[in-house]
Structures are given as structure tokens and as C-alpha cells.
Amino acid sequence: MKKESNLIIYDLILYLVFPLVLYKVLQHYFSDYWAMLLPTVPGILYTLFRFWYTKQFNVTGIFIISTLTVSTAVDLMALGSAKNLILYNVYYHFGVVVVFLVLMALKKPLPFYFMIDIAAIQGQDREESKKLYKHPSLFKVFQYLFIAWIIKDIVFAVAQWWMVDTYGLKAYYSRTIIFTVGGYVFGIIMAIGYAMVTMRAQKLKGDDSEQPSDEIII
């Protein structure tokens, strides 16, 4: 519990407090573009460290690295324009939504694969976990979580667009705070969903005599 509390504190410092303070300081020495871009570097390095420290490989690791790479490339494409930096992030989020909708249509919800990675870290066999979590009563929870994720990204993208259109570069502070708080709210939703899956999975594994009548999703 203490370790998790420390991680939450580090998250708030690296993702919220530090970027806002650094942005305010850098405004006096750099253009708005660099003042927005440079504060993201500590957060990226911290995310990579957590990726290594928690040993989140496979789908989770690939997702973290790929999203960091693409989002950084999108930031650099703004070519010195602070307004474009925010607008390109809007386009990036809409692009992510399109990819997520395709995965949803293919019945490949990312929370399902993240859960398999979590189980693997805890020493469970990947193939057994995959078979277990494909049970309809569990798989639908992953689908609901993925739908919530898609809605979150749509809301974030629209909110960014509206803020930059209404307030211009002054939206940076509100954008950072809203994204950090919204990220934690979504994290709580994910945690509740994973807790539900864990409890249902334990019940399924504990009931040796009863065979599930539902067809397993392929």
C-alpha cells in the first residue's frame, strides 16, 4: 500500500505539478511551443522508468512505448507552433479513437490483453489466463472498459479543441489539470473493472464441478 501511495505521489508531481511549474518558468526564456514541449520530457522518462521497473512487457509494454513514440512525434510535427501543439494532440486522440474502434469491432479490447500481462507478472500462465478471461461473463467487462476508454478519449479530444478555440494558449493550465484528474478518474474505473474480473475469475476457477454453458469467444 505504501509503495502504491508513493507511485500516486510521483504521478501527481511528474504529470501535473512539475509540468505546470516548469511551463511557467520556461515561458520567460523560450517560446510557448518549447515551454509546452519541454515539460513533457520528465513525464516521458518517468513513464519509461515505470515500464522497466514494473516489468510490463508484451502488449502493455508495446502499447506504452508506441503511444509515447507517436505522441512525441506528433508534438515535434507542430514545428514551433504552440497552438499546433495542442491541435495536433487533438488529431492524435481522434486517431487513437479510430484505432480503438477497429479493435473493438475485431473483439480485441486492450484491457483484456493488459489483464493477461498483469496475471503473467503474478506468475500465472498466459494461455490459461487467456482462456479464462475469454469466458463471456469476464470478456464483456473488458469490452465495457474499452468502451469507457474510447468515450474518455473522445471527450478529451473535444475538450481540448473547445479550450484552444475558446481560450487559445491560456488553455494549457486547464488542459493539464483536466487531463490529470480525468486520467485518475478513468484509472479508478479501470481498477473497479479489473477487480470485478478478478472476483468473477476466482469464482469460475473455484467452481470445479460446474461447466460454463456459454460459448467461449474466439
Domain boundary assignment for the chain: 2-206
The mean pLDDT of 101-115, rounded to a whole number, is 94
In 54-170, alpha helices (H): 58-77, 82-105, 110-121, 126-133, 136-167
- Amino acid at position 115, single letter: M
Classify residue 180 by burial, with Cβ atoms within 10 Å: 0-12, 13-18, 19+.
middle
The set of residues, in sequence order, having a beta carbon less than 8 Å from that of 99 and lying 6+ positions away, is: none
- Stronger pLDDT, 27 or 147, i.e. the higher one: 147
- Stronger pLDDT, 214 or 109, i.e. the higher one: 109
| Residue 61 confidence (pLDDT) above 70 | no
CA distance linking residue 198 with residue 119, whole number of Å: 10
- Stronger pLDDT, 45 or 170, i.e. the higher one: 45
The mean pLDDT of 102-126, rounded to a whole number, is 88
The set of residues, in sequence order, having a beta carbon less than 8 Å from that of 72 and lying 6+ positions away, is: 40, 44
Q: What is the mean pLDDT of the chain?
A: 79
| 153 alpha-carbon distance from chain centroid | 9
Confidence of residue 101 (pLDDT cuts 50, 70, 90): very high
Could you tell me the three cell numbers for 177?
Answer: 489539470
CA distance linking residue 90 with residue 86, whole number of Å: 7
Confidence of residue 111 (pLDDT cuts 50, 70, 90): very high
Confidence of residue 65 (pLDDT cuts 50, 70, 90): low
Q: What confidence score (pLDDT) does residue 205 get?
A: 78
Asked if residue 200 lies in contact with residue 137, where contact means CB atoms within 8 angstroms, the answer is yes
CB neighbour burial string for 61-97, b if at least 16 within 10 angstroms, e if fewer: eebbeeebeebeebbeebeeebbbbbbbbbebbeebb
Top-ranked range on mean pLDDT: pick from 32-36, 78-82, 190-194: 190-194
What are the φ/ψ torsions at residue 203 (nearest 5 degrees)? -65, -40
Confidence of residue 216 (pLDDT cuts 50, 70, 90): very low
| Residue 209 confidence (pLDDT) above 80 | no
